[in-house]
Structure 1
Amino acid sequence: MSSAHKNLSIFSTDNLPDISEKRFALVVAEWNEQVTEALAQGAAKTLLEYGAKPENIVRANVPGSYELTFAAQKMAQKNDIDAVICIGCVIQGETKHNDYINHAVAQGLTNVSLKYDKPVIFGVLTPNTEQQALDRAGGIHGNKGDEAAITAVKMLAF
């Protein structure tokens, strides 16, 4: 179902693992900051709500979504990081830059996850407009940051 018909902050919480001793890296793109800050706050709030300790959430900022891959790799290679949550937003715009960036980031994060055998979560919005991004960053469709965080928690149980 498309997010146009779904609240991203509604998800199953059945059988979640204990994450009180797990460490999370939250990597956040600064580009489209109004959106990414809301997503990052949603992710952090969700991690705390389901048992993560504040001191076990490490945050790193990068200039834009393209840089998420490199930062995710730096975080994933750390032995004390259990999962990496990447937050970004690439709005379509007038050129095809979004196609190249989104593909590169998705492929890069997948590669990092497989290389380090850790959950690396794609919490990157790929909307057509700024309003669609805001709708998914705490607006009418909930917060994709919540979804990214709960995905990390669930993947730790896998």
Structure 2
Amino acid sequence: MASALKNLSSYNSDNLPDISGKKFGLVVAEWNKEITDTLCKGAYDTLLQHGAKPENIYRNTVPGSFELTLGAQFLAQSNEIDVVIALGVVIKGETKHDDYICHAVAQGLTQVGLKFNKPVIFGLVTTNDEQQAWDRAGGKHGNKGVEAAATAIQMLNWVN
């Protein structure tokens, strides 16, 4: 569903699993840092709100969104990490780079999750301009980081 039709910070919190003993890996792109930091704060606060312990939330940074895949793999390969949340921002520019980056990240994160048999959450904001990115990082459409964390928690229902 398009975020213009849904608030990214709204989710059903019924039947969420106990996450007090779960470990979360956040991999965050530094490109568009102010926005990605806001996404990360949304994810972090949501995990804490639902019972995650601060010492069980690990944040790693990578230079840009393209590198999220490898950063996610480094986290996912650890038996200590139960779920990985990848957060980044790709803003359309004058060239088609955004198409290539977004496709590569989507495919890469999918492959990491399948390879390590654990949830790897796609928290990539893909927009036409910077304002749209801010609208999805705590603005009028909510915070994609909150949505990503809620998805991560919900996916733990599927993990043994």
TM-score, scaled to structure 1: 0.99
Residue matched to 1:134: 134
Equivalence for 1:81: 81
Superposition pairs of residues 1-158 of structure 1, within 5 angstroms = 1-158=1-158
Which segment is superposed worse, 127-136 or 1-10? 1-10
1:5 Cα deviation after fit: 2.2
Q: Count the aligned residue pairs.
A: 158
Query: SS at 1:85's partner residue?
Result: strand
Aligned letter for 1:13? S
SS at match of 1:123: strand
For 1:146 and 1:122, how far apart are their aligned partners in 2? 12
Give deviations 1:114-141, integer Å, cap 9, x for gaps.
0000000000000111000000001111
SS at match of 1:93: coil
**Gaps (5+ residues) in structure 2?**
none
**Share of identical aligned residues, percent?**
66
Q: What SS does structure 1 have at the residue aligned with 2:85? A: strand
Deviation at 1:69, TM superposition (A): 0.4
Deviation at 1:7, TM superposition (A): 1.0
Structure 1 stretches of at least 4 aligned residues deviating more than 6 Å after TM superposition: none
Residue 26 of structure 1, CA deviation: 0.5
The 1-side partners of 2:148 and 2:46 are apart by: 9
The residue type paired with residue 49 of structure 2 is: E
Q: Deviations over 1:26-58 (max 9, x none)?
A: 000000111101000000000000010000000
RMSD in angstroms over aligned alpha carbons?
A: 0.6
Structure 1: which 5+ residue stretches go unaligned?
none
